[in-house]
Amino acid sequence: MERDDDFVRRREHLARLDEEQLEQRFWRLAEQIVEPLLELARTHTTPSIERSVLLRMGFSSLEANAIVAKVLDHDLIGKGAGHVVYVVASRTGLPVRDAGLKLSADELWDVALEAFRGA
């Protein structure tokens, strides 16, 4: 039974490629498809994603929620809540957990703002 479509015509440009060339073409096209998604992930975040990051850093759900709320209040969500906590911990010499808890208590924001806004 003959196919009632244009498969043969549409694959003509691929017919002359060997297996290695087909594989290279596949990965090149896959990269083109995925690149916009990767760029979106690099440039966009959500409070939910940031809470998830903080949970993996060892904060409880309530602590993570409080930290993200403060990060949002200070308009630093684009920097990443976990990144903010890490940078503040690095600059103050505090353990990450202590820095995060202080940020959630509305402390050390001068350090965070200086680090991220150059104030």
Q: What is the pTM of this model?
A: 0.68
CB 45 within 8 A of CB 72: no
Average pLDDT of the segment spanning 83-98:
97
Output the pLDDT for position 5: 81
Q: Give the domains, in start order, of the chain with CATH numbers.
A: 7-43 (no CATH), 47-117 (1.10.8.1000)
Backbone angles phi, psi at 68, to 5 degrees: -60, -40
pLDDT tens-digit readout, 39-72:
887 788 899 999 999 999 999 999 999 999 999 9
* Confidence band for 8, pLDDT divided at 50, 70 and 90: confident
Residue 97 has pLDDT above 60, yes or no: yes
